[in-house]
Each structure stands twice: as C-alpha cells, then as structure tokens.
Amino acid sequence: MWPLVLMLAMVLAGCQTSLFKNGGQQADSTQNSTDSAQQSSTNPPPSVFNTPKKPVGNYKASKVTGTYAGKKSVNRFIDTMVKKHDFDRRWLNGLFSTVQRQNKSIRLMDRYAPSKKKKNRPADYVGQPGRGSWSRYRRQFINDKNLQRGTEFWLSHKSTLRRVEREYQVPAHVIVGIIGVETRWGRITGDYVVLDTLSTIAFDYPRRSAYFTKELEEFLLMSREEGVDPRTPRGSYAGAMGLGQFMPSSFRKYAVDYSRDGVRDLMNPKDAIASVANYFKAHGWKPGEDVAVRANKSGSAYRKVKWGYSSNYTLRELSRVGVKPRKKIKTNEVSLLRFANYKSDEVWLGLNNFYVITRYNRSSKYAMAVYQLGEQLNKRVRPAKSASRESLLVLGES
C-alpha cells in the first residue's frame, strides 16, 4: 500500500463518492435493520467477480497514437494482454491512445526512491534511528484532529464495523487505524487517473517498471471484471485506490462487495471496511492476540542488535541484551522494535499481528502508527472495553 499519498495527493471533499462513480450506500448509523440482513456469510467471494466481461469504453484504433505512439514497451504489453487474456487489440490500441504521461508521478517516485547510499539496505534498516524520528512520524497521524475525525468515522459506520469485526475476527480499531493512516478516512484518496499513473510508471520509470507493468495488467483485468471504463477509477500518484488504498492486484484478491450492491467499490465504507478485514484475515491475523507489547530496556546492548519487523528473537535472547516485556506474553518468538523519541528510545516487542500489519506496508513505523491510532480511537469509542484490559499504549516519551 502507499501511505505517502497522505501528504501528496489531492484532498477530496469526503468519502461520499464512488471509486467507479456509481454511487452506493455510505453511512450506516441509521441502517441497523438493513445491516442485520446483509450477512457476509452470503456475500459472494472475490472469485465471483473475476469473470471476464466485455471491456467498457468506446475505444478502437488500428495503432496506438498520442503520447505512447510507437513505444515498443507499450506494444509488447498490448501483445501480452491480447495473447494471455484475450483482449481486443484494436480496443487496447484505442485505450492507450488516450493515456497521458503523469510527470508528477515520476517526480514523486524519484523523491521517495532509496538513495544510492541506502540502496542495499533492507526495508527495515537496522542502523541508528534519527533522534526524534518516531515522535515526528507519529505526530502526523495521532493528533487531536485525527482522533476527532476517526471517532466520527467509527460512529458513522459502527454497525458495519461491529459486524465485520465479528465475521472476519479482525478488530474494528485496527481497521479504522488503517483507513485513517492511509487516507484520513477518505479525505485524501488521490485524484489521479489510475490508468495514466500506472502506465507512466510502467513505461517511463525503469526502476519500478516490472512491478507497475504487472499492476497495469491487474488493473485492466479488474476493470473488465468490474465492468468499468478503465479511465474512470481515480487514485494516488502510484495507482492505489479507495479508502484503504488497494493496488489493483490487492483489489482483485481481497476486495469485498459487503454492501451487496453487485460492485466492489472501495470508496464505499462498507466495502472498504470489509476488504481491509479480508486482507488481514488472508495474511494470517490471529484473533484475540496482541499486536505489540511495550518492553523495558536497560543498558545499551540492545542498540547493537538487529531490530525491525523482520527481526526474530526468543525472549531469553532479548533478556541478554537488556530487553524484557512489561507483561506476560504467550509466544516465545518476537521481533525487536525500536522507535526514537527526542529523549530516548521506545522499545516494543512485535508479535504475529504486528507482522500482519506490515504486510499492508512494510514499515515498522507505519504498523505502529496504525496500531497506536487504533488503540486511541478504541479508548474513545469503547472506553469500557478498553478499560477492562491492560492498555498496551504508553503515551509520551520515556
């Protein structure tokens, strides 16, 4: 997924819009009777939608014209789509004749590309974190305005969240946290034509060409299966769509028509909420288990070992470097998570469900922001439930 779009994409008026411009019910605060009848046990699985239809859009040309006229990589891609997926060549020629290069997408990809010094580093680099880096990152997402907006979103869709939590066994606060970090609950979803952004990066940005060529293939299949014009969907500068910012491949695998209107529309909160839950369930979410546990630290030995969501230690190994959990945990294998505040480090132990959150975005900071934002919203919306168990969230710096 693509959380950087939060700071860069065009701000939309709200989430009362369809990804495919075809409406659909949104808020559910007054629809309890309707919601009760719409059980996901009868909801068609995503495979029901993966049936080829006739592509939508009056596109037809003997060859590609315009921006990508004569470009060999475009013609090779069209050959693949014709041979592999039985698309009409003239239709594809006409469609790609409409594509406009998005130079801003390339600039933004460059801005966030790894520097030459960092190109061989793993996704979770284990060097010394910058002083205050976690404090600054966390403040982007966990602040008074976002807590108010997240509370409003939760209360507006509490019926859907309650049902999805029960049916998918993924906590509501984690779902709301994801949507908040990704798009501020639909306020920042991007207004780029997805076909244009994916094509631009696939054909004009060699460093990420392979990945985005595959996503462009998935996008055209998605458009055909969903019965939408490929020029209609809008999203981030990198092609992510909807409240949860799904890339096309994730859309095809995990998007759910929870509103039961025959369309998987990730600008519809019902579909978006269930789709995020479905994604987590498919990636191994363990119901009822913690996400992360705060740890005490002593000495400085912990600073010299690998840390991040991909690290793996036994509790005994961590004890040897001065790290011990603040509460008992069931598992003996954890990741070591280190977050730099201005005064000192926060040290946490990541569990299976923390790792599952990183499948959405491979960043320890991202996953912790999702977790802590969700925890704070949970305490606001369900204070009694939150107070009934030990809070894992420690505010401020220690």
3 state SS for 17-30? CCCCCCCCCCCCCC
User: Do residues 392 and 293 touch, judged by C-beta distance below 8 A?
Assistant: yes
Helix axes 364-381 and 144-156, enclosed angle (nearest 10): 60
Q: Residues with catalytic annotation?
A: 182
Q: Which DSSP letter does residue 395 get?
A: -
pLDDT value at residue 111? 86
pLDDT value at residue 54? 83
Give the CATH architecture of domain 1-45+126-191+240-398.
Orthogonal Bundle (1.10)
Residue 360's Cβ-count burial label (10 Å; 0-12, 13-18, 19+) is: buried
pLDDT value at residue 351? 98
Q: Give the mean pLDDT of 39-45.
A: 47
pLDDT value at residue 7? 41
Express each pLDDT in 82-105 by its tens digit.
Answer: 999 999 999 999 999 999 999 999
Whole-number Å distance between alpha carbons of 163 and 153:
15
Distances from the Cα of 4 to the Cαs of 7, 30, 150, 189, 366, in angstroms? 6, 34, 19, 11, 10
Q: Give the mean pLDDT of 239-263.
A: 97
Q: Give the mean pLDDT of 203-232.
A: 96
pLDDT value at residue 13? 36
Kindly report the CA angle at 19 between 9 and 259, in degrees rounded to 5? Answer: 130
Say what the pTM is: 0.84
- Other beta carbons within 10 Å of 156: 18
Average pLDDT taken over every residue of the chain: 85
pLDDT value at residue 343? 85
Residue 368: pLDDT over 90: yes
Express each pLDDT in 256-274 by its tens digit.
Answer: 999 999 999 999 999 999 9
Express each pLDDT in 272-318 by its tens digit.
Answer: 999 999 999 999 999 999 999 999 999 989 999 999 999 999 999 99
- Other beta carbons within 10 Å of 231: 17
H/E/C letters for each residue in 275-334?
A: HHHHHHHHCCCCCCCCCEEEEEECCCHHHHCCCCCCCCEEHHHHHHCCEEECCCCCCCEE
